[in-house]
Each structure stands twice: as structure tokens, then as C-alpha cells.
């Protein structure tokens, strides 16, 4: 792993996530409170990108099936509850989950030097 610059603090708007790249990996960067946070832009459900999902209170919602993750920890807080934004009943959630169990997304520690943000990737 090497230290990679992913963004400048000026690139990040409050209440929004920024999609960035680090050593060929797509990552999501956001500011939560006073802290800069980063997770992989790859949903652990089916490996799809999450950067266009709704971001609220430090949590991003995967736009495909509604799984939710804390951007500062990668912790899964909701697993597969919808299909492209349409809520699903319990039996359909199990079908769409396709046998996959709730899983956290990879998170990265963000370091700051001046206005530059870095992760080890
Ligand atoms: S790909 Fe993200 S919840 Fe299915």
C-alpha cells in the first residue's frame, strides 16, 4: 500500500460525496462533521458503484438495492431493502440479496496535509 492523494479539502462540499481514484481503486470521500472520511466506491452486495447514492448524516445509500453504509467506518447499517429506490417487501429483499449477508464496505483512514487529503491504498 502506498500513500495516495485523493482530493483537496476545497473539492469537498458539505453534504455531498466526492468520487476519487486511488491506485486504480474508486473511492468515495466526504466530510462528516469535522472529519474527512473515505470508503471504497464498491458496494459489497454486488460490487456496484455507490457514489451516486443518497448521502445523509454520514451514511451513503447504494442506489441499486438500498444498502446503507457509514462513510467514516464502512459499517453496514441497512442491507438490501429496495430496488433502484423502490422499497421491497421482506420476501423480495431476500431474493434481491441473492444469498449475500450484510457486509461492511472497505474504509480508509484519511490523513490531511495542508489542504491535501491522502489514504493508503
Ligand atoms: S449493489 Fe449495492 S445494495 Fe445491491
Model confidence pLDDT, tens digit, residues 31-83: 999 999 999 999 999 999 999 999 999 999 999 999 999 999 999 999 999 89
From the CB of 72, is ligand 1 less than 6 Å away? Answer: no
Round to whole Å and give the CA distance between 72 and 95: 29
pLDDT at 66: 96
**By alpha-carbon position, which residue is closest to atom 3 of ligand 1?**
65
Over the range 52-88, which residues count as b (16 or more CB within 10 Å of their CB) and which as e? Answer: ebebeebbbbbbbbbbbbbbbebebeebbbbeeeeeb
Higher pLDDT, 74 or 100: 74
Q: Using an 8 Å Cβ cutoff, are 78 and 69 in contact? A: no
What is the pLDDT at residue 121?
85
Say if ligand 1 is within 6 A of residue 61 CB. Answer: no
60 lines ligand 1 (CB under 6 A): no
**What is the 78 CA–ligand 1 centroid distance (Å)?**
11
E strand segments, 9-47: 18-22, 25-32, 35-40
- Cell 482530493 sits at which residue? 7
- Quick one: fold of 3-120? Rieske Iron-sulfur Protein (2.102.10)
Rounded-to-integer distance, Cα 34 and Cα 78, Å: 24
Q: Which of 41, 60, 62 to mutate to test the pocket of ligand 1 (most atoms within 8 A of CB)?
A: 62
Mean pLDDT (whole number) for 81-103: 90
Amino acid at each position: 500500500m502506498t500513500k495516495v492523494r485523493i482530493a483537496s479539502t476545497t473539492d469537498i462540499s458539505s453534504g455531498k460525496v466526492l468520487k476519487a481514484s486511488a491506485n486504480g481503486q474508486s473511492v468515495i470521500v466526504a466530510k462528516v462533521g469535522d472529519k474527512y472520511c473515505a470508503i471504497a466506491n464498491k458496494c459489497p452486495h454486488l460490487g456496484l458503484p455507490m457514489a451516486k447514492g443518497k448521502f445523509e448524516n454520514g451514511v451513503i445509500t447504494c442506489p441499486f438495492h438500498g444498502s446503507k453504509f457509514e462513510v467514516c467506518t464502512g459499517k453496514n447499517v441497512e442491507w438490501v431493502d429496495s430496488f433502484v429506490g423502490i422499497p421491497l417487501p421482506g420476501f423480495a429483499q431476500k431474493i434481491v440479496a441473492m444469498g449475500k449477508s450484510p457486509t461492511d464496505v472497505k474504509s480508509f483512514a484519511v490523513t490531511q496535509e495542508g489542504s491535501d487529503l491522502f489514504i493508503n491504498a
